[in-house]
């Protein structure tokens, strides 16, 4: 998986949900980056790469082309963040309403 990720470094967004950020770290993509992960894995992630700024209280962190989210359900926050970033507020608000997600900006 690490080699596949490395071949696609020029894409606009590389995203991870929950502990998927560990794969990005192993691929060498996170040095010096701000990231988040599941709160119970934050300490292990920080120990694995001292250059990281692990923001375990954040649901979504965007640094450069890396977008990471906390626990699994934070992936919804991340998806809505990307919709808002790419398509704008109206599209994100409509998407959140459609999926009955109360506050798409919560925890950002």
In a domain, 27, yes or no: yes
Weakly modelled stretches of the chain, pLDDT under 50: none
Q: In what order do the strands lie in the sheet with 60-63?
A: 14-17, 66-69, 60-63
In the chain, the number of structural domains is 1
The predicted structure's pLDDT at residue 48: 97
In a domain, 54, yes or no: yes
User: First-to-last CA distance in the chain?
Assistant: 28
15 is catalytic: no
Given the residues 17, 18, 24, 92, select the one marked as catalytic: 18
In a domain, 89, yes or no: no
In a domain, 50, yes or no: yes
Q: What is the extent of the structural domain holding 3?
A: 1-71
Q: For the whole prediction, is pTM greater than 0.95?
A: no
CATH number at 59 reads 3.40.50.880
């Amino acid at each position: 998986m690490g080699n596949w990720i490395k071949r696609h470094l020029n894409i606009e967004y590389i995203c991870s949900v929950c502990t998927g950020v560990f794969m990005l770290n192993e691929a060498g993509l996170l040095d010096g980056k701000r990231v988040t992960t599941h709160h119970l894995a934050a300490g292990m992630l920080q120990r694995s790469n001292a250059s990281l700024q692990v923001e375990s209280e954040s649901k979504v962190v965007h640094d450069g082309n890396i977008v990471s989210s906390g626990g699994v359900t934070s992936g919804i926050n991340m998806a809505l963040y990307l919709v808002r970033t790419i398509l704008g507020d109206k599209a994100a608000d409509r998407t959140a309403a459609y999926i009955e997600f109360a506050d798409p900006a919560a925890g950002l």
